[in-house]
Chain A
Amino acid sequence: AQKITQTQPGMFVQEKEAVTLDCTYDTSDPSYGLFWYKQPSSGEMIFLIYQGSYDQQNATEGRYSLNFQKARKSANLVISASQLGDSAMYFCAMSRIITGNQFYFGTGTSLTVIP
């Protein structure tokens, strides 16, 4: 069965510092996708970054980078130079193609950026 685990229910980080949000996954599929979403207090789900299972390099999108360690089945999100607007829930997700594109989400990590 596919499973996404986020072990940090809540995290705090000082403004302008970097923070790592942990995500581990469990799958036996050879091909899969890994995603991070941000959900601010306003409620919308915002896509941040994607990593393919065959990608050799870690994905980066601006201040976001995904630390992908395939052997450890981890896909941690690194946010550099944290800003107050980064305070939100963050969800890790995995996709697999069986009949269409199926997504599995973790339970989320609440990040608070302290001024």
Chain B
Amino acid sequence: DAGVIQSPRHEVTEMGQEVTLRCKPISGHNSLFWYRQTMMRGLELLIYFNNNVPIDDSGMPEDRFSAKMPNASFSTLKIQPSEPRDSAVYFCASSKDSLNTEAFFGQGTRLTVV
């Protein structure tokens, strides 16, 4: 398996623009996570899907952030409108529904909002 695939790897956008981050989880994994990593806040869980259904979105910072998982092989995280403080590395991770299975992380998307 190719692992969790995120695109793009890097994104530079202007404040106010819409940004869409994409994730393809590992086939057969039931859970999908979006994390945001910054120096100030560390690794924050934004939202978590199980079987394509959002289970916990309490970490989504504002209404500007939205996430979808239309099927088992694809998820998006959208920021509209983007702000400079959204600059961070965004990770997608997936896992099977088993305690002894780790979360597999994608390479991350480094977002810079100028």
A residues engaging B (CB < 8 A)?
A: 31-33, 35, 37, 43-45, 47, 50, 52-53, 91, 93, 95-97, 99-105, 107-108
Which residues on the B side are within 8 Å of A101 (C-beta)? 30-31, 95-99, 101, 103
Contact status B97-A44, CB under 8 Å: no
Contact status B31-A44, CB under 8 Å: no
A100 to B35, CA, bound (A): 17
B64-99, CB < 8 A from A: 89, 91, 93, 95-99
Q: List 9 additional A-B contacts (Cβ < 8 Å) besides A97-B97, A103-B95.
A: A35-B103, A44-B107, A45-B105, A47-B103, A52-B100, A96-B99, A97-B98, A101-B99, A108-B42
Question: Smallest distance from the beta carbon of A11 to chain B beta carbons, Å?
Answer: 16
Contact status A45-B48, CB under 8 Å: no
Contact status A52-B107, CB under 8 Å: no
Which residues on the B side are within 8 Å of A47 (C-beta)? 102-104
User: B50 at interface (Cβ–Cβ under 8 A)?
Assistant: yes
User: B27 at interface (Cβ–Cβ under 8 A)?
Assistant: no
Main secondary structure of the interface of A (DSSP, over half): strand
A47 to B26, CA, bound (A): 15
Which residues on the A side are within 8 Å of B101 (C-beta)? 33, 101
* CB-based nearest A residue for B9: A43
A-B contacts, 9 of them at CB < 8 A, read: A43-B110, A44-B105, A52-B100, A95-B95, A95-B103, A97-B98, A100-B55, A101-B96, A105-B43
A53 to B99, CA, bound (A): 9
Contact status B95-A50, CB under 8 Å: no
Question: Smallest distance from the beta carbon of B69 to chain A beta carbons, Å?
Answer: 12
User: B56 at interface (Cβ–Cβ under 8 A)?
Assistant: yes
A53 to B45, CA, bound (A): 23
Please pick, from A33, A93, A99, the residue contacting B55 in the complex, using a CB distance under 8 A. Answer: A99
Interface string of B38-58 (1 = CB under 8 A from A): 000011010010110001100
Contact status A102-B99, CB under 8 Å: no
Contact status A50-B100, CB under 8 Å: yes
